[in-house]
Amino acid sequence: MAPRQKSGLKSDRPVSLKILADYLGLCPATVSVVLNNVPGRSIPQETRERVRTAARKFNYQPSLIARSLRKQRSFTIGVLVPELSDGYHTHVMAGIGDHLMSEGYFYFSAHHRHKPDMIEEYPRILAARGAEGMIAIDTALSHSLAMPVVSVAGHKAIPGVTNVTLDHRHAAELSLRHLHELGHRHIAFMRGQPFSADSDERWRYLVTVARELEIEVRPELTVQLERDLTTPELGYPVVQQLLQQNRRFTAIISFNDIAAIGAIRALRDANLKVPEDVSIVGFDDISVAAYYEPRLTTIRQPLRSMGETAARILLQRIQGFKDYPEEFAVPPELIIRDTTAPARPVAPATGARRNGKSRSAGRARAK
């Protein structure tokens, strides 16, 4: 029979651990074990549920300062990220933050804009502020650090660093096979910026899979992203350049969703329709991809899940788990929406202009 709970507590303001324990008829240590998810303690599930329900009811908030002093730990994590804007990095950080919060950890974030000196200095600053470990997102780490580290989109083998990555070969297969089955053979490719951690890996597998499918990767249909932007302006000028050069293509594989949206704008400004004239496949499946017009066909990275996985592995390492992975690969998913359609051959490009805008780069009949 469960201990009788005392009455008289008000739920409109926080209570202390001792008061909560008195209310439940339990010792403070038992309540602390439940709320801090301390492993290896045999406490009935019914008791655990009573404790959590009462903590929510009376708005119990554990003292992080007292917890840190008692255990002589900071319960703080450092997060390195290139920039703080809506998109890829924000989705990953949301997963990290949710998991750390659920486990009673706090985190500091620092953005470095891909500057090598800041990537080198920030880990030391975070460690000096008590960080017990670090998560690096899309950050080119070059050596091991004096703390446990998990790298999201890290591809370099570094002692002490666990890489959480997407399966880029499977992603290349999904995107290229989709376009191949729709009849596309003249495909334009966007290569990612040199400073992006995924650029080389993603490009390597696109080239490999294209060769297997007998899709020619033409240098004149390959554009290189260079600018450090997180807006559609990233993809606009490179596609505009292809159009101005009268390049013929029926589809574009974009480096990410933001660049794909810029590509759609460039095609529209050239009086071309998506997907009737040109199909487009994005990458990431950020929130706007499902709401942009037309809705974007894309490769989904489970970004929030990748952040949660990175945080979970890091905390396991901090807590002394020895059997942690050096690399954790996450499967991608093809999300088919409205920007891809069967290739529709049209007459070869002539350079003619309609309404003052070139249509010379639309779908062309293969020679």
pLDDT tens per residue across span 13-40: 567 778 888 889 998 888 877 877 665 5
| Position 260 in a domain | yes
| Beta-ladder partners of 107 | 77
Q: What is the CATH number of the domain that holds 21?
A: 1.10.260
> Among 268, 246, 273, 271, which residue's Cα sits nearest to residue 340?
273
Is beta strand 149-152 parallel, antiparallel or unpaired with respect to 133-137? parallel
| Position 9 in a domain | no
Residue 296: DSSP 8-state: P
- Specify the DSSP element, H or E, that contains 190: strand 187-191
In tens, the pLDDT along 302-316 reads: 999 999 999 999 999
Which pLDDT belongs to residue 220? 96
CA 263 to chain centre: 21
Q: CA 147, CA 80: separation in Å to the nearest integer? A: 14
| Position 40 in a domain | yes
Q: CA 77, CA 100: separation in Å to the nearest integer? A: 8
- Same domain for 250 and 115: no
- What is the count of structural domains for the chain? 3
- Same domain for 162 and 190: no
The percentage of the chain sitting over the pLDDT mark of 90, rounded to a whole number, equals 57
Q: Could you tell me if 157 and 326 are in contact, meaning their C-beta atoms sit under 8 angstroms apart?
A: yes
> Among 154, 236, 259, which residue's Cα sits nearest to residue 201?
154
Q: CA 155, CA 205: separation in Å to the nearest integer? A: 13
Q: CA 188, CA 317: separation in Å to the nearest integer? A: 43
- Same domain for 218 and 99: no
- Same domain for 184 and 298: yes
Q: What is the mean pLDDT of residues 324-346?
A: 90
**112: which 2 tokens?**
């470095």
Average pLDDT, the chain: 86
- Same domain for 320 and 341: no
Pick the more confident residue, 352 or 155.
155
> Among 31, 178, 193, 168, which residue's Cα sits nearest to residue 114?
193
Band (130; pLDDT cuts 50, 70, 90): confident
Amino acid identity at 246: N
- Same domain for 52 and 121: no
DSSP helix/strand/coil, 327: strand
- Same domain for 163 and 241: no
Place of tokens 């390597």: 204
**224: which 2 tokens?**
């290189």
- Same domain for 220 and 345: yes
DSSP helix/strand/coil, 174: helix
Whether the per-residue pLDDT at 41 is higher than 90: the answer is no
The residue out of 8, 34, 62 marking a domain boundary is 62
Whole-model pTM: value is 0.73
| Position 351 in a domain | yes
DSSP helix/strand/coil, 348: coil
Q: What is the mean pLDDT of residues 251-270?
A: 97
Whether the per-residue pLDDT at 265 is higher than 60: the answer is yes
| Position 5 in a domain | no
- Same domain for 231 and 298: yes
Q: What is the CATH number of the domain that holds 198?
A: 3.40.50.2300
- Same domain for 155 and 290: no
- Same domain for 224 and 214: yes
Residue 13: DSSP 8-state: S
- Same domain for 297 and 257: yes
The residue out of 62, 88, 117 marking a domain boundary is 62
Give the residue numbers spanning the domain of 122: 72-167+303-331
| Position 308 in a domain | yes
Q: What is the mean pLDDT of residues 179-198?
A: 95
